[in-house]
Amino acid sequence: MKLPIPSRVIEFISFYETADLNHDEKFALMSLIISSYDNYLSEGNFQESTWENIKKHLVRDMDLHRKTILYWSLVEEELDDCFCITPNMRQIFVP
């Protein structure tokens, strides 16, 4: 069984938007969201609106998620040796 479950990405995003979370909880939940969306992409799926929603939160909370963005961007690697979400993350990577 793959974890986290990609089909729950939207549910996780909704919880991120509505729950009263502290910084540590937001950080952990966004890590789960990104990992789940990467799994979703690895199964050959893509949903622009879901990515745009994730991206909105990453950009809005950039200070909190900068290290997460850097991790998933794999800036030192070639794209053929990266996560499925890496091209998306590189769109918002700010050195």
- The residue range of the domain holding 66 is 6-92
Residue 12 lies in a domain: yes
Residue 1 lies in a domain: no
Say how many domains are in the chain: 1
pTM: 0.88
3-state helix vs strand vs coil in the chain, percent to 5: 70, 0, 30
Query: What is the structure's pLDDT at 47?
Result: 84
Report the distance separating Cα 11 and Cα 25, nearest Å.
Answer: 15
Letter for the amino acid at 51?
W
9-18 and 48-60 helices cross at what angle (nearest 10)? 30
48-60 and 62-73 helices cross at what angle (nearest 10)? 130
Letter for the amino acid at 8?
R
Residue 1: partners with Cβ closer than 8 Å, 6 or more residues away: none
| Per-residue pLDDT tens over the stretch 34-78 | 999 999 899 888 888 899 999 999 999 999 999 999 999 998 888
Residue 63 lies in a domain: yes
pLDDT surpassing 80 at residue 4:
no
